[in-house]
Structure 1
């Protein structure tokens, strides 16, 4: 029989394909020709081939361009693997490199400007691409995510945590003041001096056991005349002849309970939504870019209690925002505000005083049946500046 013709399904061709699978030795790989050899003899034959010599001549005309191209490709693929596979976790550099070179068609480090993996790791730390630290187990790297969306999301989370921390501090301060007030009240109540009960043996004790046989009607006629309530009130209102003014009595436990109950009722009137028409608000989100961030706008329409259509004051654009992306605006003292939450919701008032320690303000209502009433300790988020048309 004649010799079997070489073809795709011949035993030799199938054997060559099986041998070529997997990762071969890096020392027998030609980066210029992108050819992997199985042994030293094959690599020697490849180096003597005409195609390899032609590639060397092309590279010799501009060696810097090829060198920088291979270096940038290696860096891009390495950082892409680090970002997608490990994220921002701290990992050993050799683990990432071994996973990178496990792909058959990768850029070899001997074709780049970095001689060793340690030199490449140090370069990543100097350029600020990764956090690099050296330990007894070797070099560790950590990817730094500089995506604008990720940074904006992290900044928004930090602001939310700061708001929650401020609320907790405010509540802790209020509780501390209540405890201090209670301690002062307890000290005032315990200020009276008590004397020891002493028995006087010289004085005789007499007990009258005589029964009164007269009916109750007769005894009632012998009682002293009743004093009217109006006369008692009049006597109490009369000033003392000595001109002594009684000291102001401290709050009792009953007063504390009444004040706490009023505060609880006011708290019940608070709702989660506070948006209202014709108030000035500030945008606190970057989801629409820096164009509207920290800019002021006027609420033109409220939808579903938590969504507002606002008109920018500087540009006049109409944009739709959620309540979580807006905050109230505190004007200067003497300006007109609108109470947007609590028991005095929708009341127009004037800003009288600001208490920065309690994050609250004192307002004076100027319209409606409550005109002239002073409202104290109104939180910053419960009122906003009213737009002057």
Structure 2
């Protein structure tokens, strides 16, 4: 039996005994193994210090502490999680600011159909350590505070409506959010070494002002958190039998599955909400020559590829294909004191955005936000 099959058999066996998994046909291919990228090897670093596959180019669209070109807006420090939203024939890219002591928030870049920057502005301010988040089907951005008493904030990417704090989504060390429109819930990760994996069930879909906060248990059932405010007892201490995850990070939902990452053990997970199974998509301990360490933000392309950014490692964004092959997609050079985050695609899937949180300086005021364009695949 090949090493991959042996490893998968061990994972399936352990999972089946411990949790009673019913492993789907697709899940039998997990975890992803190191292999060639569908885009080929990385080329020499370009003028921005980014190693990309042949045919791809990069540009800097914003720098922390500097005015965005063609606007009067100064880009925020410590750019973190982000996403893109359709805006007429163009789009908007939003980016969190992971600054504490009330210095956090969210900024936005507006692009026209030709990817020209036509505006930049703030859509949330005065918050704390806005790390990751997630977009909603109704076109808003959930920005999450990564502090023990953190909230979720619902923001308007267009900057028209004021940001609203969503208390019902719980008060804890929020990281990311991923909306599941099929079950009408929002999955939430918690960045603690003994954190939980939550879901928020709104009373009315499309309205996050009220609802029920639940947490996943080891038997893969969902239990209601009695006191979402987390005081005096923190949310992750309130439910007996809660399944513990080691440092929840990014989350992304697609086709019945919520993919999320945990940095403490360098894993990418897939919670299958249809089959009610939990699988390991990637585990650096079960992958030969693992290219991905310091797993962080995650997103997906329409074709089925997942992209995972590194907080540490060798500053790469790695691709995980539907064939369960993992490989570097890009590498940022000479920025070892930074982390990559905010990876997202424009609505057409032709341009990728991401940030280096501390850039070449290693300081939060030196963050750089990039755009990558090129022949992203549209079919397998």
Using structure 2 for the length normalisation, give the TM-score: 0.18
User: Which structure is higher in strand share?
Assistant: 2
User: Which structure is higher in helix share?
Assistant: 1
Max Rg structure: 1
